[in-house]
Amino acid sequence: MTAILLTNLFSLSSDILICFGVGLLIAVSLGFVAGYLLGKGSSARDFRRAKQHLQNCYEHVQKSLETSYEACALLEKYPGTILTREQSTQLNQKRSKLLDLIGRLVERRAPDPAAEAAPQKTEKKKLQPFPELQWALQPEQSHIKLPDASAFEANLEMMLLAGSETELNSGLLLVQMNQCEQLKERFGIMAPAKFMKTLSRLVLHKIRDEDVVCVWKSDTLAVLFPGLTITEGQACAELVRDAIRHHHFRLETSSPEVVVTASLAYITCVPGDSAELVLERGAHALTQSQKRGRNQLIIQDSHSYEHKRAV
């Protein structure tokens, strides 16, 4: 009898051990599967958290800028002069740094899906090289020392004629200095001419040897780009815009910095264009640039306008 009980007891213990082993195996397997699934989804969760953090950071920046705007608007409404020279200089320096930083952030925007989906425009193959033009450099604008409006119009006609003969595109960049009258009132009658001269030097450093800079109006420079494709012309216009945007303007070397901005318009000149039509498109593009704000570049390719934002 005792032997039978011992045999049953051993048999029961074996069954318990087997069940325990099977349970342990199932638990380990379930733990492994759960860990794998959780680990697989952790990257997605981390990405969502990071994205939410960036969104919160953006909203904080936006609210801070709105608060600063309201404070500046309130300060502006206060009657009379309330800022000392030192305070005005400090505000001007902080404004320049903030504009530069926001400009770099804005340029890091995501690409436009519609622009990516649009088919790339094909340009005509160059049948022959664009001829070397003998620019008219006289008469000269007395203060800025560049070809004046009459020389510009003659140069434009010559470039358009050469473009029609070779069936090649060219470009015209108009650079209009903003708020000339305000600069004149603040710094004297010769201040706009001095700033225009600085503006012309910045432009001259960013163009090719075969290009020419002229004075179209007292506050507007005109740059002629013979034989440039649409893409090349836009790149040149961007270089000029960036040079103006990042420059620290001063009346004299030791003078405090002055905020000087410009409106820019790049016009693609296609074979068959007339000077009158090109200048009409240029004036319209400049108006669009002024409405957009400071240091804005409008690209006009004879069919449509494209806004190149800059803060």
| pLDDT tens digits along 137-151 | 999 988 888 999 999
Q: What is the pTM of this model?
A: 0.58
In angstroms, rounded to a whole number, what is the distance separating the alpha carbons of residues 49 and 94?
32
In a domain, 179, yes or no: yes
Using only C-alpha atoms, what is the Rg of the chain?
Answer: 34
Cis peptide bond N-terminal to 139, omega within 30: yes
Place of tokens 């506050």: 219
From the number of C-beta atoms within 10 Å of its C-beta (0-12, 13-18, 19+), residue 289 rates as buried
Domain that holds residue 191: 135-308
In a domain, 209, yes or no: yes
Sign of the torsion angle spanned by Cα atoms 254, 255, 257, 261: negative
We report the CATH number of the domain holding residue 185 as 3.30.70.270
Q: What are phi and psi of 172, to 5 degrees?
A: -130, 125
In a domain, 265, yes or no: yes
The edge-to-edge listing of strands for the beta sheet with 220-225 is 212-217, 220-225, 170-177, 262-269, 297-300, 305-308
pLDDT by residue, tens only, the chain of 311 residues: 555 544 554 555 566 656 655 566 676 566 656 665 555 556 566 656 766 666 777 777 777 877 877 777 777 666 665 667 677 677 767 766 776 677 666 666 666 565 555 555 444 454 578 888 899 999 998 888 899 999 999 999 999 999 999 999 999 999 999 988 888 888 888 888 889 999 999 999 999 999 999 999 989 999 999 998 888 888 999 999 999 999 999 888 888 889 899 999 999 999 999 999 999 999 999 999 988 888 899 998 755 545 454 43
In a domain, 292, yes or no: yes
In angstroms, rounded to a whole number, what is the distance separating the alpha carbons of residues 248 and 246?
7
Q: Which of 165, 178, 86, 90 is nearest to 129 (CA)?
A: 165
In a domain, 237, yes or no: yes
Tell me, what's the pLDDT at 27? 65
Quote the number of domains for the chain: 1
In a domain, 175, yes or no: yes
Tell me, what's the pLDDT at 309? 47
In a domain, 300, yes or no: yes
Which uninterrupted H or E stretch holds 214? strand 212-217
In a domain, 232, yes or no: yes
Burial call 182-207: b when 16+ CB within 10 Å, e when fewer: ebeeeeeeebbbbbbebbbebbeebb
Could you tell me which residues come within 8 angstroms of residue 34 by beta carbon, excluding any fewer than 6 positions away?
none
